[in-house]
C-alpha cells in the first residue's frame, strides 16, 4: 500500500465514523422510479426531488405513462425543480427509448444507460451502484469538492478524472460505500460555503484549511 493509499484509508475511516449509515436519500419503489429520481436530482437537493416524486410517482405508474405524457404536463409536475423544462423532455424521451429499443426493460450496462436521453455517466453510476450493487463511484459536486480539498484531485479536474483517481486510491469493494460517505461529508460537514473546519477530524489532510 502506498503512502497516498494509507492516507486515503485514514480519511475513509474517519468519515465513516461521522456517517456510518450514509446511503441513497432518494425515495423510490421501482427501478424506473430510481432512474427518474436520479435524473431529477441534477442541480437540485434530494429533499426537493423527494417532495416532487411523492406526487409524480402516484400520477405516473410506469414508463408507458411517462412516454405518453405531454411535455407540458411533465413540466408542470416538476416545475419546482431546477432545469425542469429540459428534465421533462428527457423523462419523456428516456421512457420512449426504453420501451422502443430495450423492450421496456431498463438496461444494466454503462454504455446502454448513457445512451438514454438525460442519463450521463454520474446518473448511470448511481443507478448501477444503488440498484445492481455494481461497484461505481459517482462524482457529483460534493464528491468533487471534497476530493479537491483533500488533494485527491486538482482544482480543474473533470468528474471523470476525479472518479479515476478515487478508483486508484480505494479498492473496488468499498467504492459504493465511499461514494455515499463522501457525499454525506460534503453535503453535511465539508460544505461549499461554511465547511466545519474547526471540528473536522481530517483537517490535517486538507489542502484548503480554514476556508
Query: What is the C-alpha to C-alpha distance for residues 55 and 40, in angstroms, rounded to an integer?
Result: 14
Nearest Cα to Cα of residue 15 among 199, 181, 196: 181
Find the length of the chain: 211
CATH for the stretch 3-23+136-205: 1.10.1670.10
Q: In the numeric block, which cell numbers belong to residue 39?
A: 435524473
Selected catalytic residue, list 96, 122, 154, 156: 122
Nearest Cα to Cα of residue 38 among 103, 112, 104, 131: 131
Residue that the C-alpha cell 471534497 belongs to: 146
Domain 31-132 is in which class?
mainly alpha
Query: pLDDT per position in the chain (211 positions), as tens?
Result: 898 999 999 999 999 999 999 999 999 999 999 999 999 999 899 999 999 999 999 999 999 999 999 999 999 999 999 999 999 999 999 999 999 999 999 999 999 999 999 999 999 999 999 999 999 999 999 999 999 999 999 999 999 999 999 999 999 999 999 999 999 999 999 999 999 999 999 999 998 865 5
What is the model's pTM? 0.94
> Does residue 55 carry a catalytic annotation?
no
Domain boundaries for CATH 1.10.340.30 within the chain: 31-132
Nearest Cα to Cα of residue 130 among 97, 99, 176: 176
Selected catalytic residue, list 4, 55, 89, 140: 140
Domain boundaries for CATH 1.10.1670.10 within the chain: 3-23+136-205
Greatest extent of the chain over all pairs of C-alpha atoms, in Å: 55
> Does residue 140 carry a catalytic annotation?
yes
Amino acid at each position: 500500500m502506498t503512502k497516498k493509499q494509507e492516507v486515503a484509508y485514514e480519511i475513509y475511516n474517519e468519515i465513516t465514523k461521522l456517517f456510518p449509515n450514509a446511503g441513497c436519500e432518494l425515495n423510490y419503489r421501482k427501478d424506473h422510479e430510481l432512474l427518474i429520481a436520479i435524473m431529477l436530482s441534477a442541480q437540485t437537493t434530494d429533499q426537493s426531488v423527494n417532495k416532487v416524486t411523492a406526487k409524480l410517482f402516484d400520477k405516473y405508474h410506469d414508463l408507458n405513462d411517462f412516454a405518453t405524457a405531454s411535455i407540458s404536463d411533465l413540466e408542470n409536475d416538476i416545475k419546482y425543480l431546477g432545469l425542469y423544462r429540459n428534465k421533462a423532455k428527457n423523462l419523456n424521451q428516456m421512457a420512449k427509448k426504453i420501451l422502443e429499443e430495450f423492450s421496456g426493460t431498463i438496461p444494466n450496462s454503462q454504455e446502454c444507460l448513457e445512451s438514454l436521453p438525460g442519463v450521463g455517466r454520474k446518473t448511470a453510476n448511481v443507478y448501477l451502484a444503488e440498484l445492481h450493487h455494481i461497484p461505481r463511484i459517482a462524482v457529483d459536486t460534493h464528491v468533487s469538492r471534497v476530493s479537491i480539498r483533500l488533494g485527491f484531485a486538482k482544482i480543474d479536474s473533470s468528474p471523470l478524472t476525479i472518479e479515476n483517481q478515487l478508483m486508484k486510491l480505494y479498492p473496488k469493494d468499498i467504492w459504493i460505500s465511499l461514494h455515499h460517505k463522501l457525499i454525506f461529508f460534503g453535503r453535511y460537514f465539508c460544505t461549499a460555503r461554511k465547511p466545519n473546519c474547526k471540528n473536522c477530524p481530517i483537517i490535517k489532510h486538507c489542502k484548503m484549511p480554514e476556508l
